[in-house]
Structure 1
Amino acid sequence: MNTPAGNPSNPGHPGHPDEPARGGPPPRYAPTGGHNRARDGHGQNHDPAPAPPQLKRLLGLTVASGALYAALGVVVTVIYSTMDFAAMYQRMGMPAEDAGQIGAMVEQMRGISIASGVIGLVVLVGLYVMEYVFLAKGANWARILGIVLAILSALGFLGNLFGFWLYGQWAIVLIAIGIAFIAVNIAWLVTAFRAPLRNWFTAQRYTR
C-alpha cells in the first residue's frame, strides 16, 4: 500500500514535519556575539569588567619595587666582592685579632656567598616578572603573592636598615635604596588594598 502524500510516517517526504516546507522562509538561528564571554555558575554570560585606573599604578609600583630590589642586590654583590671583612668586624667592636681571624674565614667563603646571593636575586626577580604578568591579566592570586612579597621584603629591609652603616662608604647608597624600597612597597600595599582594585581582582576570579 502506498503511503499518502504528506503522511507524517514518511520521513523522506517533504511533508514530514521535521523538514522545512519547500518555498518557505529559511530557518532562523540565534545570533552569536563576536567575542567570547565568560559564564558564571548559573550559565549566564558576563563580559569581563574593565580594569580600574589603579591597575596601571599598581603595575608601575611593581616595576619600581623589582628594580629597587635588583639594584640593592647588585650593590650588595659588589660590596661582597670588594669588602675588607676584617675591617667590618672591627667597626662592629670586635678586637683586631679576632676580627682578622673571622675575616679570613669569611674571605674563604666569599665566592659561595656571592653565588648564593646572585641565585636568590634571580629567583626574586623572576617572581616579580611573574607577578607583573599575571597582575596585568587580573589574577587575584598574583595580587596576594604581591602582598606577601611586599610585606616580607619591606620588613626584612627595615630590620637591616640600621646595619647598613657597617658597609663603610656604601652605607649611604644602601640606606637610600632601602628607604626608597620600603616606601614603594608601602604605596604598593595601599594601592592593592583599595576598594576599586581589590573588588576588580576578586571579580576576575569568577569570570576568568
Structure 2
Amino acid sequence: MILKSPRLWVAAAAFAAAPAFAQNIAVVNGTPIPKSRADAMVAQLVQQGQTDSPQLQQAVRQELVNREILMQEAIRRGIPNRADVKAQVAVAQQTVVLRAMIEDFLKKNQPTDAEVKARYDDLVKGVGGNREYHLHHILVDNEQQAKDLIAKIKAGAKFEDLAKQYSKDPGSGKNGGDLDWSDPKAYVPEFAAAAQKLQKGQMTDEP
C-alpha cells in the first residue's frame, strides 16, 4: 500500500532521526512505539509457529513503524472518527478482551486427567456407540419410479448418474445422492432400518 503524501515522507524522516528509549522501540513524529507492543506481536507470531529471532524482531519493529506512519495519516484524514470504523474497533476490542478472559480462565482451571477421562466417558455414553454409515439415496415421487431406477442400476447404470438426473433432493442429488457420514437414526425409521441391514457397497432391492 503506497500513499502519495509528503506527510509520510516527513514521518519517515522524523523516525530515522528520533532517538528510541529503552521502553520504546522507535519514535515516529514524536509518537513512541512501546516495546510491549512489539513483544505482544512477536509472541503472537511465535504462537503461530514462527521462531523468535533478531530477524523476526527487526521485521516486527519495521512493521510497527510502518503501521504508525499510516495510522498518523489515517488520523489526519479523520478516519478513526467515522461511525463504521468506531463500530468495528469496538467489536475487535471486545473480541480481544473476551479471548484474554478465556485464556486466563483456562490457565487457572486446567482439568485433571481424571476429569478429562470422565468427560470422555460421558461423551461416549451420549453417542451410545452408534455406528455411522456413508449413505447415498435417490429421492423420487413414487414407488414405481424407485423400482425403475433400481432395475436400471442392476442393469449397469451408475447410481450417481441416476441420482443427479432423477433425485428430488436438491442437496444430495447434485452430489450423486451422497448423504455423507451419518447415524441412520437421524432419518425416518424405514430408511434407518433399511440402511442398517446393508453391507458396504450394497443397495436395497426394494424402495
- Bin the TM-score by the shorter chain: under 0.3
Higher relative contact order, structure no. (Cα contacts within 8 Å, ≥ 6 residues apart):
1
Structure with the higher fraction of residues in helix conformation: 1
Bigger radius of gyration among the two: 1
* TM-score of the aligned structures, taking structure 1 as reference length: 0.22
